[in-house]
Chains A and B, each alone.
Chain A
Amino acid sequence: MITDNELMLMVKSGDIDRLGLIFERHNKPLYGYFLNLTGKTDISEDLVQNVFMRILKYRTNYRGDGNFNIWIYRIAHNVFVDFIKRKKKLEFSDNLNEWDNVLTDTSHEEESSKNEKINILESALMKLPQKKREILTLSRYKELKYKEISRILGCSESAVKVRIFRAMEELKNIYNELSKN
């Protein structure tokens, strides 16, 4: 099977259509990544589009000698950071209350009713601060190694482990709190 790196090198050399295959492979994980961070389906879809537009824009800078996952998630991370900056300018705040109904206001509604525990856990995740939410998302769902996460977020591997533990601790506390109610 043709690798992501090979596909991206084809895109770089002008075979733009090959990006379609990369999109097919990565759009769902990326969507999940953004959905876990924002809790909004429409925003997550837009952010996925932004990632692929940014890939096209910077395709000539692609070297193809590294891990494609690191590359694409680094772009995704930057897209999200830029999104937060823009939102802050428009008085956007990471207010926990805003996330309370996030998972029930969209297509998640039906699924959340299926499993109450998952529903509570998702709510607990949404109450986590953005950075902790992001590191848990990267470590848990995308099965990225700590070394790869450290390169995506620009920190040490040791710091990644500590941050994951802290995020888990806080998530556990929020989850227990929500479970009591």
Chain B
Amino acid sequence: MDKKKKIKLITEYLFNNTRGTDKRKMREFLLEHGVAEEELSEFEKLARELNAIPEREPGEKMKINFYNNLEEYKNTISEREARMLSFKNIWEELWQPVLVKRLAYAVAIFVFGCLAGYWYTSEMKYKTQVNTMFSEMQDMQKVMMLTLIQQPSPTDRLKAISISNQISNADDKVIDALLNTLNNDPNVNVRLMAVETLYNFADNPKVRIGLIKSITKQESPIVQVTLADVMVLLQEKSSVDELKKLLERNNLNESVESKLKNSIELLI
């Protein structure tokens, strides 16, 4: 029997609660397999004596301390649980049906407000951008119109007048350029187009005055007739004097004369 096995068997024999016949058989087995009886007896004696050592009793203080500690622990737990409970109560209260309804409305209003604000801001921004672009475009059209109207080519000047039709708020510079064209342009078509364009800006008193003053300055019968029609359309009674002055001219075209008389009658 090797040493390790011997050690294990002795330990089993001494401490594994083997009793009676089994214990005796085991002792015999150990002695037969090289364990000295003296050695075994010494171990047995030691084991018995170890067993005889009385169990020490702890002091009463240990028990008192334990129950104090237990009480303290329970209090800590209760406080923690109470804290958890109050948190739970708040949470549950938050989910009361009425409160949930209110909360839902509040959230809905808040979301709607955010969306409306976002939409309004976007819209305003968009409008501002469009207005800026429109304004910039109008400025460009005015510059282009003022440039083209001074060109020698009648086509360019017609283009200039056409562009001025697209200008919604014609300023003094545009009106002056159109009136100047009406009174001085050598081309009849250009002058006729200027009359029609100026008629579009007739809300402006300066335009009306300019058109009236232009009546006596015109030599072309067609322009004269057109101006007479415009005066009737505008019901511009203050133009009657100018129309009468034109009527007094000697070399006046018959059809123009008839038209002027007719217009004067309509205006008076």
Chain A residues with a Cβ under 8 A of chain B:
16-17, 19-20, 23, 27-29, 31-32, 35, 41, 44-45, 48-49, 52-53, 56, 107-108, 111, 117-118, 121-122, 136, 139-141, 143, 145-146, 158, 161-162, 164-165, 168, 171-172, 175
CB within 8 A of B15: which of A19, A111, A140? Answer: A140
Interface centre among B11, B55, B56 (most CB of A within 10 A): B56
A23 to B52 Cα, complex, angstroms: 25
Any chain A CB within 8 A of the CB of B96?
A: no
Given A45-B62, A49-B65, A171-B46, verify A121-B53 contact (CB < 8 Å).
yes
Q: Given A28-B58, A31-B56, A45-B61, output 19 extra A-B contacts at Cβ < 8 Å.
A: A16-B77, A20-B70, A23-B63, A31-B58, A41-B56, A45-B59, A48-B66, A52-B66, A53-B73, A56-B73, A108-B56, A140-B47, A161-B12, A164-B11, A164-B15, A168-B46, A168-B47, A172-B42, A172-B46
Q: Which residues of A contact B46 (CB under 8 A)?
A: 121, 168, 171-172, 175
Q: Which residues of B contact A121 (CB under 8 A)?
A: 46, 49-50, 53
- Which of B2-10, B86-94, B193-201 lies at the interface? B2-10
Q: Which residues of B contact A28 (CB under 8 A)?
A: 55, 57-58
CB-based closest 8 A-B pairs: A31-B58, A45-B62, A165-B7, A161-B11, A161-B8, A164-B11, A165-B11, A140-B50
Name A163's closest neighbour in chain B (CB-CB). Answer: B11
Contact A35 B69 (CB under 8 A): no
Interface centre among A28, A41, A161 (most CB of B within 10 A): A161
Q: Which residues of B contact A136 (CB under 8 A)?
A: 50
Contact A49 B62 (CB under 8 A): yes
A139 to B49 Cα, complex, angstroms: 14
Contact B65 A19 (CB under 8 A): no
Name B68's closest neighbour in chain A (CB-CB). Answer: A49
A146 to B18 Cα, complex, angstroms: 13
Chain B residues with a Cβ under 8 A of chain A:
4, 7-8, 10-12, 14-17, 42-43, 46-47, 49-59, 61-63, 65-67, 69-70, 73-74, 77
Contact B58 A158 (CB under 8 A): no
Contact B53 A118 (CB under 8 A): yes
Name A176's closest neighbour in chain B (CB-CB). Answer: B42
Contact A16 B74 (CB under 8 A): yes
A-B contact count (CB 8 A): 102
Q: Which residues of B contact A162 (CB under 8 A)?
A: 4, 7-8, 11
The 5 listed contacts between A and B (C-beta, < 8 Å) are: A27-B62, A49-B69, A52-B66, A165-B10, A165-B11
A23 to B56 Cα, complex, angstroms: 16
Minimum CB–CB distance from A15 to chain B (whole Å) comes to 11
CB within 8 A of B58: which of A27, A111, A118, A145? Answer: A27
Minimum CB–CB distance from B106 to chain A (whole Å) comes to 39
Contact B50 A111 (CB under 8 A): no
Minimum CB–CB distance from A97 to chain B (whole Å) comes to 22
Name A165's closest neighbour in chain B (CB-CB). Answer: B7
Minimum CB–CB distance from A11 to chain B (whole Å) comes to 10
Contact A27 B66 (CB under 8 A): yes
Q: Which residues of B contact A168 (CB under 8 A)?
A: 11, 14, 43, 46-47
A58 to B87 Cα, complex, angstroms: 25
Q: Which residues of A contact B73 (CB under 8 A)?
A: 16, 53, 56
Contact B77 A41 (CB under 8 A): no
Interface centre among B12, B16, B47, B62 (most CB of A within 10 A): B62
Contact A20 B43 (CB under 8 A): no
CB within 8 A of A122: which of B17, B53, B57? Answer: B53
Contact B55 A141 (CB under 8 A): yes
Q: Which residues of A contact B10 (CB under 8 A)?
A: 165
A32 to B57 Cα, complex, angstroms: 8
Contact B54 A118 (CB under 8 A): yes
Q: Which residues of B contact A175 (CB under 8 A)?
A: 46
Contact A49 B66 (CB under 8 A): yes
A122 to B55 Cα, complex, angstroms: 12
Q: Which residues of A contact B7 (CB under 8 A)?
A: 161-162, 165
Q: Which residues of A contact B66 (CB under 8 A)?
A: 23, 27, 48-49, 52
Given A52-B69, A140-B51, A172-B46, verify A45-B4 contact (CB < 8 Å).
no
